[in-house]
Chains A and B, each alone.
Chain A
């Protein structure tokens, strides 16, 4: 029964997953095409190193873009079922509520961890491809993984929670993006305007910003997933 639910929930999330993957890969593919084109017209020749030197930037740009689709992955699990009324179809069946919710959580967590793994992969590739890259240390690698996972958790958590409250995955996604953007811009403004934050040396400001935003995302994610899951478990309909 659980496998059947997993298959169905995977198919529910598939359009959002494809969109997320497309947004993630677009900058890298574009960068590769541009490199290949430049290589074709250049007389001097463009070694592959030229592409890999920008690889981390394109991967991070792709990650930032994919964050737009991540709330949709979580939101379609509950919001789409409500909008299409299939929540009634599955709700009228003799299936324990915890299994329905567990399947949705499994699919969501698996899909949203993919961009984090790709970011980590993006950090390793240039290091392998280019012999002259500074050595990559394990803490740096985990920092990439941790930061991306926390951000994904925060954004997806909002999608999950809002889809519990709203009857459409589209509204839930839009609200998640709005809230995430507001938090990001608000924090950025705070760093530029609050005297205590402006007093931080410029070199450290970025690290502080990333630290605060990642912790904020982590807590928002954990709380949103917990509250959303409780609502989905104890409310009769999804």
Chain B
């Protein structure tokens, strides 16, 4: 696969701030038409990565391709079909909504005034209001409008629902989903709200401490990551369980019960755990994205410590 096969691709993208490595050699591969959830804890490097994707921050090393175009070599062409929704509106706060729209109309060759005015009506944004006076929810909708009105092939959203109430967050995600259905486009969205991510995305990337620890299809992750609950007859160390399978991601204990999170679940792997723990029972349970993410991250942290 080459960079042209993906809407967004990075090759060993790295960013250092002094001695600190914010993003550590990540190679994203976002297929065309995918809704890609970019997940990570605070400070994992999501926003730094997104800033590098948009050419707002130069990588220390590595490359970024948008629609097969290297952003370092041809930033204008690479960004021409990209819409960006930041965590809070970055449009000029002293301008009125109408003025921001006029500015975008003059600055973006592919801007569609018809689409902009229809979105303005749909989102119920008063064009005479100053950007600084918009509520958080309306501000997020304005950012989405500004990102969509030039009909981008790629839409990048950086924690767009941060600080929104649950209703405004639901409305926003619905609009993003609708926008991705209306026109074939690739969406990369980073968010803390994993419920929304699970609902909206078909591909995922987990970022932890600047490293990409998982990348793949959402259904694949949730289909192959399971929790196995054991009730061992005799005590067994975590290390012994980990030695049994490299797919043991996380181990939690509650009284006598042990819950093991297995990546790449297979009945054989579960059975080997059961027999090693001398557990008469074996319960296998599906995980939500929230739990899968937490267990994988905790497993990473346990492995590192």
Contact = CB atoms under 8 A, between A and B. Distances in A.
Given A8-B103, A92-B79, A95-B76, A86 B56 contact: no
Interface stretch (B31-39, B82-90, B177-185, B221-229): B82-90
28 contacts: A1-B106, A1-B109, A7-B103, A7-B106, A11-B94, A84-B90, A85-B90, A86-B92, A88-B51, A88-B56, A88-B86, A88-B90, A89-B92, A91-B55, A92-B54, A92-B55, A92-B56, A92-B79, A93-B79, A93-B104, A94-B75, A94-B76, A94-B77, A94-B108, A95-B76, A236-B56, A236-B57, A237-B57
Given A92-B79, A236-B56, A86 B91 contact: yes
A93 B90 CA distance: 12
B79 A94 contact: yes
A102 interface: no
Nearest to B156: A92
Interface in B56-75: 56-58, 75
B163 interface: no
Contacts of A92: 54-56, 79, 82, 84
Contacts of A86: 90-93
Contact of B90 (A1, A89, A95): A89
Overall SS of chain B's interface? loop
Interface in A41-96: 84-86, 88-96
Given A92-B54, A94-B77, A1 B92 contact: no
Interface in A1-53: 1, 3-5, 7-8, 11
Interface residues of B, number: 29
Given A92-B79, A237-B57, A1 B86 contact: no
B92 A84 contact: yes
Please name the 8 residue pairs, one residue from A and one from B, whose CB atoms are nearest each other, closest first. Answer: A4-B106, A89-B90, A94-B80, A94-B79, A92-B84, A85-B90, A94-B76, A88-B90
Contacts of A3: 106
A224 to B, nearest CB: 23
Interface in A187-238: 235-237
A96 B90 contact: no
A134 B75 CA distance: 60
A220 B108 CA distance: 37
Given A94-B77, A94-B79, A95-B76, A1 B107 contact: yes
Given A3-B106, A84-B92, 8 more contacts: A1-B109, A86-B90, A86-B93, A88-B90, A91-B56, A92-B55, A95-B107, A235-B58
A4 B86 contact: no
Contacts of A237: 56-57
Contacts of A84: 90, 92-93
Interface string B94-131: 11000000111011110000000000000000000000
